[in-house]
Structure 1
Amino acid sequence: MFEARGLTRAFGDKVVVREVSFSVPDGRMTGFVGGNGAGKTTTMRMIMGVLEPSAGDVLWEGRPITSAERRAIGYMPEERGLYPKQPLIDQLVYLAQLRGVTTSAARTRGLDLLERFGLADRSKDKLESLSLGNQQRVQIAAAVIAEPSALILDEPFSGLDPQAVDAMADLLREYTARGVPVLFSSHQLDLVERLCDGLVILARGEVVAEGRAQDLRRRGRVRHRLVLDADAGWVRDVAGSLGIFVADVDGPVALLELPHTNGDAAADELLRSAMERGRVREFHEIVPQLADIYREVA
């Protein structure tokens, strides 16, 4: 497990990251979400030692991380760092050798990764001959080729087509299944919600929400949709006495917020009143989407 504890970074008088704290447990995939300029990249750079924190610490297994432990992390930076005029397999082997992998093992792993991303037939092509999406695939391969102990990936899904997204997701799941902690940033909230065990939302350089996606969604405003056979205008008169807030009524449809205490009892009483007046066609919970929670907290 690695952990950010009170990470702060200032450039002159401007504080861009302020007391950011979160942990990424072993075998868990954590999504790092925030708008442009929220501080995600700066935080990742501090975790990797690319930037020195103005304050705070990075911990590995509960103690200050060492340079050797940082070298064992697979890192995909915001600025892609591959060599445009070098063949794909040659630079993957070279980058793996820098991390202590033997030449033969590096070549085997490199070819396997290129095959997974549909680039096996282009292993000897220069990087600059590839589309931006395919260059992104090679960058991902470079991040994982040395069998990292953790993964920190800055926008790894950017520019990937759906097939490559699926291949990338499968690859990350393989690493978490081995116990590798994974942190990645993304603006694709539906993808984060689908893949991640945990979520950290950053806004204006501070953590504004953290937890499992389903728990964060439950923290938002949960509403219920009631659909009747006839006009639902009467609901406004009955709901108030039950502590139910009526957010909207449109013909036979009412949008409701149940009270935090005795919400089930209030719903049962409302439904009894509804069935006395006619048929209830629909009554169900509307849990906020992750995008709604993000907009609310950020």
Structure 2
Amino acid sequence: MTGRRLEIDGISKTYGTTTALRGLTFDVRAGELFGFVGSNGAGKTTAMRIVLGVLAADSGAVRWDGAPITLETRRRIGYMPEERGLYPRMKVGEQLTYLARLHGLNAAAARRAAQEWTERLGVAARRDDEVQKLSLGNQQRVQLAAALVHDPEILVLDEPFSGLDPVAVDVMSDVLREKAAQGVPVVFSSHQLDLVQRLCDRVGIIRDGALVACGGVDELRAGGAVRLVVDAPQAPPDWADVLPGVRALAREGTRTELELADGADDQAVLRAALATGPVHEFARRRPSLTELFRSAVTEEAAR
């Protein structure tokens, strides 16, 4: 699968007077974990449903390996919806075997795959239980098994970590890393931005149906506003308020976190801190993905 990629090219979607997607464009490369993040209602689920063919785009295209997505291509996608997509009264093992058969596996291969993934995801002991009798966390594990049971070439996962305990999060993270290492493009949405920051190679932030940022996690964080942490024990609480282009974000004990506007002089900040007495710490701090996301949401609300 070297070189293959999933392309979302200029897709738009309108429901009546509501525009859900506005020329959305990004790609997910072979062997890449791509985090797709945004507020509720930003358009993440609509985009994923268009990739799967559950919805039709008003314009734009979705391509795999340079060619339009077809029904045959979709059989090779592993999809995990945010809402439960399982038959509640069907037993776990029977359900996974059935879904694997729908994707083209023969009976023996389907049974082996169902056994393998229930063991890997920690629900082997529940194979003979109805899905509705499982905890929400175990249902989520089975939902992931359903996305993986046919050995997909592409993974599209909508909030896969929702409702999982920390142990299950670790198991699922390992599985996604493993699939990416095998060359599978993996795109998933999540509101757990610390997890996205830790796992993903690249991240796309969607706001109001359009992509407002896309790139490597380190690249996005480096491109955020400059932040400084200054520990000046003798400085008054408002010592930095008079500095041009400098905004105090937080103060904890003797440490102050500052944000610098474009063109603001960090050396002027250091001189001002030293003028109050000793400085025990003066360091740049890159914003987290959560802070970058919050900034994007704030910009949306301000419009």
1:28-80 deviations in Å (ceiling 9; x for gaps): 01111111111111110111111111000001122322221121010112332
Q: Give the SS at the match of 1:45.
A: helix
Tell me which amino acid in the other structure corresponds to 1:136.
Q
Question: Which residue is equivalent to 1:55?
Answer: 59
Q: Taking every aligned residue pair, what percent have the same amino acid on both sides?
A: 47
Select 1:205's aligned residue among 203, 209, 219: 209
Question: Which residue is equivalent to 1:66?
Answer: 70
**CA–CA distance in 2 between the matches of 1:11 and 1:249?**
42
1:241-274 deviations in Å (ceiling 9; x for gaps): xxx73637979545445675696xx53x765786
In structure 2, do the counterparts of structure 1 residues 277 and 208 end up closer, same or farther at CA, with 3 Å as the change threshold?
A: closer
Unaligned 5+ residue runs, structure 2? Answer: 298-303
In structure 2, do the counterparts of structure 1 residues 96 and 248 end up closer, same or farther at CA, with 3 Å as the change threshold?
A: closer
Q: 8 Å contact 2:240–2:269 — kept in the other structure?
A: no
In structure 2, do the counterparts of structure 1 residues 62 and 235 end up closer, same or farther at CA, with 3 Å as the change threshold?
A: same
Tell me which amino acid in the other structure corresponds to 1:280.
V
- Higher mean alpha-carbon deviation, 93-102 vs 208-217, is at 208-217
RMSD: 2.6
**CA–CA distance in 1 between the matches of 2:31 and 2:261?**
38
Question: Which residue is equivalent to 1:111?
Answer: 115
Question: Which residue is equivalent to 1:162?
Answer: 166
Is 1:188 matched up with 2:187? no
- Higher mean alpha-carbon deviation, 176-185 vs 29-38, is at 29-38
Q: Give the SS at the match of 1:97.
A: helix
Question: Which residue is equivalent to 2:32?
Answer: 28
In structure 2, do the counterparts of structure 1 residues 64 and 256 end up closer, same or farther at CA, with 3 Å as the change threshold?
A: same
- Higher mean alpha-carbon deviation, 167-176 vs 272-281, is at 272-281
State the 1:139 CA deviation: 0.8
Tell me which amino acid in the other structure corresponds to 2:171.
A
**CA–CA distance in 2 between the matches of 1:11 and 1:233?**
51
Q: Give the SS at the match of 2:220.
A: helix
**CA–CA distance in 2 between the matches of 1:14 and 1:270?**
46
Question: Which residue is equivalent to 1:289?
Answer: 288
In structure 2, do the counterparts of structure 1 residues 43 and 274 end up closer, same or farther at CA, with 3 Å as the change threshold?
A: closer
**CA–CA distance in 1 between the matches of 2:137 and 2:249?**
45
In structure 2, do the counterparts of structure 1 residues 261 and 110 end up closer, same or farther at CA, with 3 Å as the change threshold?
A: same
Q: 8 Å contact 1:39–1:202 — kept in the other structure?
A: yes
1:193-248 deviations in Å (ceiling 9; x for gaps): 111111111111111111122222222222112223432689659966xxx73637
Q: 8 Å contact 1:155–1:184 — kept in the other structure?
A: yes
Q: 8 Å contact 1:232–1:249 — kept in the other structure?
A: no
Select 2:12's aligned residue among 8, 15, 19: 8
**CA–CA distance in 1 between the matches of 2:261 and 2:73?**
49
Q: 8 Å contact 1:238–1:270 — kept in the other structure?
A: no
Q: Give the SS at the match of 1:208.
A: strand
State the 1:278 CA deviation: 4.9
- Higher mean alpha-carbon deviation, 231-240 vs 112-121, is at 231-240
Q: 8 Å contact 1:233–1:249 — kept in the other structure?
A: no
Q: 8 Å contact 1:235–1:254 — kept in the other structure?
A: no
State the 1:105 CA deviation: 1.7
Tell me which amino acid in the other structure corresponds to 1:289.
S
Q: 8 Å contact 1:33–1:185 — kept in the other structure?
A: yes
Q: For the pair shown, which has the larger CA radius of gyration, 1 or 2?
A: 1
Q: Give the SS at the match of 1:58.
A: strand
In structure 2, do the counterparts of structure 1 residues 7 and 234 end up closer, same or farther at CA, with 3 Å as the change threshold?
A: closer
**CA–CA distance in 1 between the matches of 2:44 and 2:118?**
28
**CA–CA distance in 2 between the matches of 1:77 and 1:234?**
49
Number of equivalences: 292
TM-score by length of 2: 0.87
**Pairwise mapping of residues 246-257 of structure 1 onto structure 2 (< 5 A)?**
247=248, 253-257=255-259
Question: Which residue is equivalent to 2:135?
Answer: 131
Unaligned 5+ residue runs, structure 1? Answer: none
